[in-house]
Amino acid sequence: MGRRKSSVAGNITAVIALMIVITVAVALYINDRDATYKVCTVSSVEMVSEPSGGVTSMFLRVETEECGSLGITNMTMPEGMNKAGLAEFLEANIGKKFEFEVKGLSLGNDARDSGGITSTTPVE
C-alpha cells in the first residue's frame, strides 16, 4: 500500500513539472515571436539586482524616450562587452539613438524584455 501512494505522488510531481516546462517554453516562444527592432533614445541606464526565488538576477534597465523602460537580461554583447561595459557605454551615450531588440514580455516594474542593442553605432 505504501508503494502505491509514492507512485501516485511521483506521477503528480511529474505532471506538475511537465506543466511548468511547457509554460516556460510557450512564454519564451511568445517572447521571441513578438520581438521587434525599434530605434530609441537613451535617457538613463542603471544596473539592477533583483532577488527572485532565492536567486539574484542582474539586468540592465535602460530608460528610453520612445520605447519606455527596457530590461536587458541575457544577450550577445556587442564587441564582447559584458553588462557592466554596456552600461558604461550607454551612460556615455545618453541622448543618442540606438536600435534595440524589444520583446513582448514584461520583466515587471514596467520594464519590457530586451535582447539588447543591435550595434554600438548610434542611429541618426
pLDDT in tens, 66-85: 888 888 876 656 667 778 88
Give mean pLDDT, residues 39-47. 93
CATH class of 36-117: mainly beta
Whole-angstrom Cα distance, residue 79 to residue 97? 18
Q: What pTM did the predictor assign?
A: 0.63
How far is Cα 43 from Cα 93, in angstroms, rounded to an integer? 9
CB distance 57 to 46 below 8 Å: no
Can you tell me whether residue 93 is helix, strand or coil? coil
E strand map for the chain: 36-52, 55-64, 68-72, 97-108, 111-117
**Other CB atoms within 10 A of residue 98 CB:** 22
